[in-house]
Amino acid sequence: MTTAPTTEIGPDPDVTPPAGVHSIWRIRGYLRPHVLSVVIMLVTSLAVVGTSIGIPLVTRSVIDGPIADGDIAAVWPLGLLALGLGLVEAFLIWLRRWVQSTTVLSMEQEMRRDLYRRLQSLPMSFHSRWPAGQLLSRAIQDLSSIRRFMGFGLIFLVVNIVQVVSVCVVLLAMYWPLGLVVAATAVPIIWLCMRFEKRYVVMSRIVQDQQGDLATRAEEGAFGIRVIKAFGRSEHVAEQYEAGARELHRRSMDKVRLSSRFWTFLEVIPNLAVCVVLLLGAIGVGRGQLSVGELVAFLTLLLTLVWPVSALGVILAMAQEAMSAAARILEVLDTEPAIVGGDVLIGEPRGHLRFEHVDFAFPDALDEPVLRDIVLELLPGETIALVGATGSGKTALTALVPRLEDVTGGRVTLDGVDLRDLDLHHLRTMVATAFEDPTLFSMSARENLTLGRADATDAEVEAALDVAQAGFVRDLPWGLDTRIGEQGMALSGGQRQRLALARAVLARPQVLVLDDTLSALDVHTEKLVEDALRSVLSSTTGLVVAHRASTVLLADRVALLQDGTITHVGDHRELLATVPAYRELLSADADLREAVSS
């Protein structure tokens, strides 16, 4: 059954979504496969807390027992017990860290995989609205923030709370007046944490968003380096980047100042408690209310609380950053793909393509349709040239065939099946597209060629290169195994187009879409490519966006696209003779006019 046309309205990256404990809680599913590891980490951590409490209690027994009685022989068993507890504690810490690292890295890998898959499944309308730097910062920095919190902060948040509560209970049992002094320090700490949390989470989100903006500037500067240098705008672009970096620095310093104030108070409070306990404990020993061993054990246990309380600032900062990072990642994961395939497969595809009263508008401009009531039929093996003025909707129409975009009205069928009912991967193996602005990847020429058909033989690769006149790759330093650089910048514009065309031809599609693919070629190379393309197009259905003379002559028929709708379809000579708008469009190209009229 045909699904209703959908539009994808994704989250606005400029609007800060709420971040909190619920953000972390929502990604708990990534911990489920590692429940046993989490249990091991918690058990070992709690056991470490137990040993850290046990050692001071053994120390008290040594001081108040053998040392006070002058029985040196009795010191050895208790000393060996303390040593044994220390060794057990060291082993438990090692075990926890090993399990912790393995678990957290696996969880990060799973989240990275799901995030990348979701990005690949989202339509072009999503990617056109989101700066690449924002997506990169989520895939790298935000995942790292979550990993650090899950691997360190979360465990120690639980362990430190347990340690503080356990030690306070022991201290109250040992000498309740001093225990109350220690317990009272929790009041200002809790108050500080509540104030810190509210402000720090907002600052963390602002800094993370600005890191994404700066990453976008860096990426654009790298990809557009030729344009920047050609126009002599290096200094201007550098100033823009520096302004963004200064703003990021300013916001980061605000965050640092807030953290430093919070951490300072956390450092001061437990140290003040130690001073008060030492004073009151000495008085208690003098009055006989407390033994020397108990005072030493009391102070030792109290000192074990200094690090958990001091680390609370670091842990809470990590927690806020992780909450904000989780919220930013969930913005992407929560965006449902608007283009979802069906389950229909075409057994023996013929390439019969039909546009049936098709309308199309971009998701953020639904009241401004780009295409209106498109009616067009391409018979199997037929080639149609799509001709129209700039902005008439040619590229939008070609994007509907592989479902890079989806219709908002009507339907497109292939061999009688609505494209929305077809399995998406199956559809895209039957349709190959070569774009005017070809995208190549930082991999070898061979890998770029076989991107759409990994099982292609060497003979088929060579044949595709011949069709596209892309034999230049054979002369590269390592031939087809030469890495062509990011975005193929090591090649000229015409070479990139020919390599992309060879990639499309190699896919052996039932429908071949050429979106002004030959625009960067010189006249001689273009003629060679077109001569070779005729044999390819004779056995496949072709939709060719034409701007140049010879490209129109590749087609069996011509479709004239005006203001988003197809007004005329026919033989190019017929259109030239009977359609004034077609003649006017061709009048701007003397070569085309001459070729068509000959």
For residue 522, what is the domain's CATH number?
A: 3.40.50.300
- For residue 66, give the amino acid letter: P
Write the DSSP string, 498-512.
HHHHHHHHHT--SEE
266 and 365 assigned to the same domain:
no
405 and 475 assigned to the same domain:
yes
137 and 240 assigned to the same domain:
yes
- The answer to the question of residue 338 being in a domain is no
Q: What is the pLDDT of residues 482-513, one digit of tens each?
A: 888 666 667 877 888 888 888 888 888 899 99
Q: Among residues 523, 543, 529, which one has the least CA distance to residue 500?
A: 529
62 and 139 assigned to the same domain:
yes
378 and 518 assigned to the same domain:
yes
For helices 306-333 and 186-223, what crossing angle results, to 10°?
40
Q: Among residues 386, 398, 392, 476, which one has the least CA distance to residue 437?
A: 398
The pLDDT confidence band at residue 2, using thresholds 50, 70 and 90, is very low
pLDDT at 520: 61
Task: Provide the domain limits for residue 293.
Answer: 21-333
| Average pLDDT of the chain, as a whole number | 82
31 and 151 assigned to the same domain:
yes
The pLDDT confidence band at residue 26, using thresholds 50, 70 and 90, is confident
Domain end call among 300, 333, 366 = 333
The pLDDT confidence band at residue 5, using thresholds 50, 70 and 90, is very low
Q: Is 140 left (phi over 0), alpha (psi -120 to 50) or beta?
A: alpha
Average pLDDT over residues 569-595: 73
Most confident of 64-78, 86-100, 525-539: 86-100
Distance set, CA 204 to CA 83, 208, 216, 492 (Å): 43, 6, 19, 43
DSSP element (H, E) containing 40: helix 35-62
- The answer to the question of residue 345 being in a domain is no
pLDDT at 522: 67
418 and 313 assigned to the same domain:
no
Q: What is the pLDDT of residues 412-467, one digit of tens each?
A: 999 999 999 999 999 999 998 888 777 888 888 899 889 878 888 999 999 989 88
pLDDT at 584 over 70: yes
- The answer to the question of residue 189 being in a domain is yes
DSSP category for residue 516: S
- The answer to the question of residue 276 being in a domain is yes
- The answer to the question of residue 48 being in a domain is yes
Q: What is the pLDDT of residues 294-305, one digit of tens each?
A: 888 888 887 787
pLDDT at 422: 94
Which residues, 6 or more positions from 106, have their beta carbon under 8 angstroms from its beta carbon? 33, 34
192 and 112 assigned to the same domain:
yes
For residue 261, what is the domain's CATH number?
A: 1.20.1560.10
pLDDT at 223: 67
- The answer to the question of residue 579 being in a domain is yes
CA distance 233 to 236: 5
CA distance 14 to 190: 33
DSSP category for residue 315: H
CA distance 404 to 407: 10
pLDDT at 360: 94
Please report, to the nearest 10 degrees, the dihedral formed by the alpha carbons of residues 184, 188, 191, 197 taken in order. Answer: -120
- The answer to the question of residue 344 being in a domain is no
144 and 291 assigned to the same domain:
yes
Average pLDDT over residues 158-185: 82
308 and 456 assigned to the same domain:
no
Side by side, the strands of the sheet bearing 417-418 are: 371-378, 353-360, 409-414, 417-418
65 and 204 assigned to the same domain:
yes
- Structural domains counted in the chain: 2
458 and 536 assigned to the same domain:
yes
* Lowest pLDDT segment from 401-410, 485-494, 574-583: 485-494
- The answer to the question of residue 263 being in a domain is yes
